[in-house]
């Protein structure tokens, strides 16, 4: 049917707008059926006709549709297309078309994570829409620029730009944009260390939504204000806001919003020391996530809620329940990863970045699983969980570097394979895994920072297959371990100590051989397998141990001593005496 419609006769001498619309419609149909190459071909014909008849409005509409098609053909092609068309619009002096294309180019740069060029595109876009008097587009440009500055932590520029957007929104009476900008500037004020200004902005956004009867849009600024109160230790005020959100969501019969409210309440109750109440609230959240429309199609909220529930069970030493919740969250995340990878290139990231970011969602569930298995006397199973939490993304990343096709899923190492590697290479294998004091997502939204490292789990696999497991309490690093390079009042996380120490002594991070295993030694991951070989060395000495020369300074020496106490001393009796 599409082919027949496409083949309708065209008039080469007297083209009409009807022909341009027909061809553009055919292109949209091809795109709907995931045939972007065919769509591109007919849309080029439509664009030629629109330009031939001098119909600027249709030309702009077709170019906008072609932008979508170009993105489907690949982000690089989309960017090249926009750049070419912008140059042509500049030559003809078509400022309206140039503005439209600059906006599309900025969005394309966003899709590949290029915020620098996105910033440049929107910076060029803003004065043109101001010149043209496009007020709504000016508001959008200011909002986007403020968001880019915020993402780059250029906080003063973000505040200045957001203030311009707020002023314009007030002048135009655009309450929707005003509320959005107030919420965004509230977040910026918070990161800039201006909590009073942040509270005022959030509260104005809430008041505006309530006055306009848009109670749904009050949900997010209430939530953000609650997070700010939690960060300031005013948990009771945060709970009051979450309870308001919950009551209004329940009155509106919105199970997903209710679930989000109970998620927030659960962690706030935990902050108050009400663990039983926190678990009950989190159980309610999980149930509501299951009842939400579309919960089975894209259950990301349920997975996060289950992660929090498992973490709370672990805090209560309810280990079998913690294990079950963590396993359920992991199962959902695994399904989401598979579904997302199968969708191909519709996401605004490279395959590598998308894969790593998707697997980031496993982090909290896997650490809870490791703790629960160890607590139940199953350290070998915990080792497999630790390996599964990181090995697959690294192996797929390496596999994808040798081909442009999506990486073939790679199974993480199981216990027999790990033991076989130790046996075949006559090697003692050591794996480390970090456990944090709070879930990463919780700390990020409340405090804008990573949580503290609480426990270091260590497994040692001997060449004969024997597995031993040890734990190291890292809480004494929180107030006491001060890195002289970082300043007198800044505690140094273990990973930072490792990274700085390696850099100081000139030790390289070892690569991974994808043909054999996903074993790596890198301070940038939460879990790492390292080895100390019983055979003669196959690596340069500098990659196995620090040089015997005197340390660069006393700070470096002290840090290396501390790392030895944490990483090596607890398992020294299990390591070979002549590595």
Q: What is the dihedral of CA 529, 532, 536, 538, to 10 degrees?
A: 30
User: Can you spell out the DSSP letters for 189-251?
Assistant: HHHTT-HHHHHHHHHHHHHHHHHTT-GGGGHHHHHHHHHHHHHTT-HHHHHHHHHHHHHHHHH
Give the residue among 128, 129, 171, 125 at the shortest CA–CA distance from 145: 125
Q: What percent of the chain has pLDDT over 70?
A: 74
Q: How confident is the model at residue 405 (pLDDT cuts 50, 70, 90)?
A: very low
Mean pLDDT along residues 255-282: 95
Q: What is the DSSP letter of 510?
A: B
pLDDT reading at 23 higher than 70: yes
Q: What is the model's pLDDT at position 199?
A: 96
- Tell me the average pLDDT of the chain: 79
Mean pLDDT along residues 290-311: 83
Q: How confident is the model at residue 390 (pLDDT cuts 50, 70, 90)?
A: low
Q: How confident is the model at residue 555 (pLDDT cuts 50, 70, 90)?
A: low
Instruction: Write out pLDDT tens, residues 36-52.
Output: 888 888 888 888 888 88
Higher pLDDT, 536 or 421: 421
Mean pLDDT along residues 65-92: 81
pLDDT reading at 328 higher than 90: yes
Q: How confident is the model at residue 243 (pLDDT cuts 50, 70, 90)?
A: very high
- When computed from its CA atoms, the radius of gyration of the chain, rounded to whole angstroms, is 28
Instruction: Write out pLDDT tens, residues 171-197.
Output: 999 888 899 999 999 999 998 999 999
The phi and psi torsions of 470 (rounded to 5 degrees) equal -130, 160
Q: Range with the lowest mean pLDDT among 10-14, 281-285, 463-467?
A: 10-14
pLDDT reading at 302 higher than 50: yes
Query: pTM (2 decimals)?
Result: 0.74
Instruction: Write out pLDDT tens, residues 429-449.
Output: 998 888 888 887 777 667 766
Mean pLDDT along residues 70-82: 77
User: In this structure, are residues 451 and 438 in contact, taking their beta carbons and an 8 Å threshold?
Assistant: yes
CA distance 415 to 293: 40
Higher pLDDT, 457 or 551: 457
Q: What is the model's pLDDT at position 547?
A: 42
CA distance 254 to 208: 22
Instruction: Write out pLDDT tens, residues 479-503.
Output: 654 443 333 334 457 777 777 776 6
Mean pLDDT along residues 327-354: 64
Q: What is the model's pLDDT at position 176?
A: 87
Instruction: Write out pLDDT tens, residues 443-477.
Output: 766 776 677 888 999 999 999 999 999 999 988 87
Q: How confident is the model at residue 541 (pLDDT cuts 50, 70, 90)?
A: very low
Q: What is the model's pLDDT at position 69?
A: 81
């Amino acid at each position: 049917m599409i082919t027949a419609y496409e083949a309708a006769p065209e008039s080469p001498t007297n083209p009409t707008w009807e022909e341009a619309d027909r061809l553009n419609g055919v292109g949209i149909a091809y795109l709907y059926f995931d045939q972007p190459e065919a769509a591109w071909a007919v849309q080029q014909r439509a664009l030629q006709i629109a330009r031939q008849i001098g119909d600027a409005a249709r030309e702009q509409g077709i170019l906008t549709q072609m932008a979508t098609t170009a993105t489907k053909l690949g982000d690089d092609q989309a960017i090249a297309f926009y750049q070419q068309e912008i140059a042509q619009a500049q030559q003809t002096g078509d400022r309206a078309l140039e503005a439209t294309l600059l906006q599309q180019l900025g969005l394309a740069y966003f899709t590949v994570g290029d915020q620098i060029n996105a910033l440049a595109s929107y910076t060029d876009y803003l004065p043109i829409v101001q010149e043209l008097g496009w007020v709504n587009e000016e508001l959008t440009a200011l909002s986007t620029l403020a968001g880019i500055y915020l993402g780059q932590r250029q906080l003063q520029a973000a505040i200045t730009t957001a203030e311009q957007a707020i002023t314009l929104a007030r002048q135009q009476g655009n309450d929707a944009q005003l509320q959005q900008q107030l919420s965004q500037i509230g977040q910026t004020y918070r990161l800039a260390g201006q909590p009073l200004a942040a509270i005022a902005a959030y509260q104005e956004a809430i008041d505006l939504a309530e006055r306009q009867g848009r109670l749904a849009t009050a949900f997010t600024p209430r939530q953000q204000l609650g997070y700010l109160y939690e960060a300031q230790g005013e948990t009771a005020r945060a709970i009051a806001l979450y309870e308001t959100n919950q009551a209004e969501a329940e009155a509106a019969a919105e199970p997903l919003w209710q679930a989000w409210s109970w998620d927030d309440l659960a962690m706030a109750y935990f902050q108050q020391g009400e663990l039983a109440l926190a678990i009950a609230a989190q159980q309610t959240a999980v149930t509501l996530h299951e009842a939400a429309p579309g919960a089975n199609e894209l259950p990301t909220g349920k997975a996060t809620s289950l992660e929090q529930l498992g973490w709370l069970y672990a805090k209560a030493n309810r280990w079998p329940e913690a294990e079950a919740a963590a396993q359920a969250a992991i199962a959902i995340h695994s399904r989401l990863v598979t579904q997302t990878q199968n969708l191909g290139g519709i996401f605004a990231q490279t395959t590598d970045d998308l894969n790593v970011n998707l697997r980031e969602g496993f982090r909290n569930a896997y650490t809870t699983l490791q703790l629960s298995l160890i607590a139940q006397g199953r350290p070998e199973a915990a080792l497999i969980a630790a390996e599964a939490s990181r090995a697959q993304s690294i192996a797929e990343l390496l596999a994808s570097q040798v081909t442009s096709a999506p990486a073939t899923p790679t199974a993480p190492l199981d216990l027999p394979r790990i033991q076989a590697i130790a046996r075949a290479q006559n090697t003692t294998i050591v794996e480390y895994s970090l456990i944090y004091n709070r879930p990463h997502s919780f700390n990020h939204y409340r405090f804008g920072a990573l949580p503290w490292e609480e426990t270091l789990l260590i497994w040692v696999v001997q060449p004969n297959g024997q597995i031993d497991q040890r734990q190291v309490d890292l809480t004494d690093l929180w107030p006491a371990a001060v890195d002289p390079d970082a300043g007198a009042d800044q505690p140094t996380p273990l990973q930072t100590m490792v990274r700085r120490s390696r850099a100081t002594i000139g030790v390289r991070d070892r690569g991974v051989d994808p043909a054999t295993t996903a074993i790596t030694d890198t301070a940038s991951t939460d879990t790492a397998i390292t080895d100390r070989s019983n055979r003669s060395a196959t690596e340069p000495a500098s990659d196995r141990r620090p040089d015997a020369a005197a340390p660069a300074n006393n700070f470096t020496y002290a840090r290396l001593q501390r790392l030895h106490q944490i990483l090596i001393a607890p398992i020294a009796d299990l390591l070979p005496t002549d590595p």
